[in-house]
Structure 1
Amino acid sequence: MRLIHPGTSAETDLARAYAYPAGPCLRLNMVASADGGTWFEGRSGELSGSGDRRVFHVLRGLADVIVAGAATVRVEGYGPARPKPSWQELREGRPAAPPVAVITRGLDLDLSGPLFTEAAPGARTIVLTCEAAPAERRREAARHAEVIVAGDDRVDPALAVRELTARGLGRMLCEGGPRINAQLVAADLVDELCLTVSPMLIGGDSARVLDGPSSLARLRLAHVLQDEGFLFIRYVRDGTEASREDGTRPVEDGGTEPSADDGVEAG
């Protein structure tokens, strides 16, 4: 994987290139086709490649928590993040794997599935829901996951982020889907976008990286990597420095079709 901006480099240390800045940070990670679609035939994995999977796993290894909407969890068949030997140094002093936090209003989740029964020690799955969620489902979910109520009739994205940060989960990696992404951007919560551009044209009616009302967030280009025709772009919030925890500057799965339950405002 080569760095092509800024400057050039034959090989890139991905953990260093994608290191989180100091302090809480919410990062989106998405893959999209060259014409902007975020899934093909219902799944984002069809747009991926070996380089994208490398970046995907490094981003997970760096994160304190992986955030995803309920529709993404269902369609992509989410399980818990599994500890990897390559994460040992990245996660020194932290659990061997990050927990997955699912945003859901309706709690339409398979609580008997691996995501809720096979999480690594210290990485119990989190459910981010609201007071309006069915009470019995909330009680049942609490037997399998940590349930965080973040809002009244809908999940409040700002409150959800504050709750995660208060639990020491400040390095947040959101993997979509596009509707969740749009609501996080509209709430001015997104600090970074890590975007894989896949060398494919897919047409169809796939959503873009954001699927929701218009909102504007200005970003600054931090780096571009290239591998086998794929581009790996890291954008950071405009006006901020993409600095690493060690004080130095960088070398500078996917979204699925949205549903009401995946949305913060509906379902």
Structure 2
Amino acid sequence: MRRLFPPSAEDTGTAGLSPFEDRAWDLDELADAYAYPARPEQAGAGGGWLRANMVSSLDGAAYHDGRSRALSSDADMRIFGVLRGLADAVVVGAGTVRAEGYRPARAREAFAARRAALGQPPTPVIAVVSARLDLDFDRPLFTEALVPTILVTGAQAPADRLAAARAVGAEVVVAGEGARVDPARVVAALAGRGLTRLLTEGGPRLLGQFVAAGVLDELCLALAPLVTAGDAARIANGPGLAVPDRFSLTSVVEEEGFLFARYSRDRLG
């Protein structure tokens, strides 16, 4: 893995990493490179910092044959694990939970000290955004989680599904009036529970809703050296913005042709 941007180690706070040097990075170096803002509760919209982690083919596909794993790599999975290791909560749409067979996050010794120092539980919470709660509550995501899985839903979610979720220990967070989830309220609703370092892994529809609501603070984008054609969705799919939202490039690293770019919005100015 080699860092392409910024060229100065001092600019990244990763002293000792020479620009363009191609070598293995350990998990601590990756964790430092992808650290959240020191005070995420003050930096982002709604009281938290919402980071997205997505992979795309060169021709813009967010997945192949229905799953994003086909576009991934070993380096992508290492970064995926680091981003999870830093987060308070992983925010994901119900469709992605079903398509990707989501399981609970696992505790990793490599992040235990960091998480303990920040007062985080051993693993991030998985927060599933779903209006209808059309989920299988017998799956390990709900029955084997070290910390209770959260369901983010509307105030009028189906009563029978709410009862089924609570019966397996899932917690419910309301972020919307009526039967729908308001994406603009998801960050604030989770931050209100002390979950300020947020990571969304999609899917494209959920990310599109966050973009449209103006609550996305950061995008970590893995660009795979693959072309797929087909009709797969882009990484953010949904209603377009009247005016494109501008993000600034923070860093780029490369491994085996994969580019791992990080973009952020300055909300402090």
Sort the TM-score into its range (normalised by shorter chain). Answer: 0.7 to 0.9
Match of 1:20 in 2: 36
Q: Secondary structure at the match of 1:169?
A: coil
1:158 matched to 2:195: no
Could you tell me which amino acid in structure 2 is paired with residue 149 of structure 1? Answer: V
Counterpart-to-counterpart distance in 1, 2:154 and 2:97:
18
Match of 1:187 in 2: 213
Cα offset, 1:163, TM superposition: 1.3
Q: Secondary structure at the match of 2:36?
A: coil
Q: Which runs of 5+ in 2 are unaligned?
A: 8-18, 41-47
Q: Secondary structure at the match of 1:172?
A: strand
Counterpart-to-counterpart distance in 1, 2:50 and 2:267:
16
Could you tell me which amino acid in structure 1 is paired with residue 3 of structure 2? Answer: L
Counterpart-to-counterpart distance in 2, 1:28 and 1:128:
17
Pick the structure with more helix per residue. Answer: 2
Counterpart-to-counterpart distance in 2, 1:219 and 1:137:
38
Aligned-residue Cα RMSD (Å) equals 1.3
CA contact (8 A) 1:218 1:238 kept: no
Q: Secondary structure at the match of 2:162?
A: helix
Match of 1:106 in 2: 132
Q: Secondary structure at the match of 1:193?
A: strand
1:5 matched to 2:5: yes
Match of 2:154 in 1: 130
* More displaced 10-residue stretch of structure 1: 45-54 or 209-218: 209-218
**Length-normalised TM-score, structure 1:** 0.86
Counterpart-to-counterpart distance in 2, 1:70 and 1:90:
29
Cα offset, 1:90, TM superposition: 2.6
Alignment of 1:66-105 (within 5 A): 66-92=90-116, 93-105=119-131
**Length-normalised TM-score, structure 2:** 0.86
How many residue pairs match? The answer is 239
Match of 1:217 in 2: 245
Cα offset, 1:160, TM superposition: 1.9
Cα offset, 1:238, TM superposition: 4.4
CA contact (8 A) 1:79 1:114 kept: yes
Cα offset, 1:143, TM superposition: 1.9
Residues 209-239 of structure 1, C-alpha deviation per residue, up to 9 Å, x if partnerless? 1101111211000000001110000000146
Counterpart-to-counterpart distance in 2, 1:20 and 1:142:
31
Could you tell me which amino acid in structure 2 is paired with residue 3 of structure 1? Answer: R
Counterpart-to-counterpart distance in 2, 1:40 and 1:134:
33
Percent of residue pairs bearing the same amino acid type: 50
Match of 1:43 in 2: 67
Asked which structure has the greater RCO (Cα within 8 Å, sep 6+), the reply is 1
1:115 to 135, 138, 141: 141
Q: Which runs of 5+ in 1 are unaligned?
A: 242-267
CA contact (8 A) 2:35 2:86 kept: yes
CA contact (8 A) 1:196 1:231 kept: yes
1:168 matched to 2:184: no
